[in-house]
Amino acid sequence: MNTFSVLRPEHMLPVRNLSLRAKMIVEGTIAGLHKSPFHGFSSEFLEYRPYLNGEPARKIDWRKYAKSDKSVVRLYEDETNMGAHILIDKSASMGFGSSASMTKFDYGRTLAAAFAWILIRQKDAVGLAAFDERIHCYLSPKSTNLQLKNIISHLETAAAQNQTKCGDAINDVAAMIKRRGLCIVISDFFDSPENIARGLRHLRFKRQDILAIAVADPMELDFSGRSDFRLKDLETGQMITIDSQTAAKFFNQGFASHHAELKTISRELEIDFAVVTTAEPFHTSLMRVIEKRRRLF
């Protein structure tokens, strides 16, 4: 695999331009594949469809017509473009980072930019919804280069702040979706499982195939320490002091239990659920989207 496909978050920190980040990640990932998902879209045959009156006669598959006496047209892969929505959580908890690496929000918006970049390059229409307590930005899906610029511009100017109502935001976005497609939800999912389930269920009702990406800081997956902790809730500002053993016990149990509930919900709703950390190479998450798109179309 090409070395650029294992770009880690720390490699991206000096690159402030989000568009350049996305391009480096996507092109590095594609360079490491045996077959590019961009190759052969205009020549890879999928199936037949009926010939429509008014279409050029040259589109008819005359060999098929001679065998079946039916006027049909070959459908190619570039005619199966879909609508996709990227939902990005910009609540204050996403601003957490335990080291000099990326915060959860910076990692998440870099992923969002890369996803938009690759989907639009595949001629898919992509929309964006950024949320915390409510939806602050909604761009309906389009497949133009201008749309990609607008998505990246919104991601660059967004800041992690306010409390989260992840489930309500997902539910509100679902209400705006009009056609079948793909939804990529990027969040730490710090909301009650019941609220999240309600929002995800609404997306499934709207015929959305969903990839839920739970972004976590490495410290959240292995919370430990030897001294007392002074903890601040990034969304409410509340401060508490707690000894390290008690903190580690309750946090690790609670965090694992929360993710277990989310995984159960995802299985029941047939949703792809993945946990990524801010230390994880970007190409692993990007490949999940590439493979998801291939399975759908």
How far, CA to CA in Å, does 111 sit from each of 53, 102, 185, 242? 43, 12, 11, 34
> Could you tell me which CATH number the domain at 82-296 has?
3.40.50.410
pLDDT the model gives residue 39: 38
Q: Supply the pTM of this predicted model.
A: 0.78
- Least confident range from 2-11, 16-25, 57-66, 83-92: namely 2-11
Q: Where are the domains of the chain?
A: 45-78, 82-296
Q: What band does 4 get if pLDDT is binned at 50, 70 and 90?
A: very low
What is the percent of the chain with per-residue pLDDT over 90, rounded to a whole number?
46
Alpha-carbon distance of 157 to 225, in angstroms, equals: 35
- Least confident range from 78-92, 196-210, 259-273: namely 78-92
State phi, psi for 75 to the nearest 5 degrees.
Answer: -100, 125
Residue 23 has pLDDT above 80, yes or no: yes
Residue 15 has pLDDT above 80, yes or no: yes
- Least confident range from 16-25, 144-153, 159-168: namely 16-25
Model confidence pLDDT, tens digit, residues 103-155: 999 999 999 999 999 888 878 899 999 999 999 999 999 989 999 999 999 99
pLDDT the model gives residue 211: 93
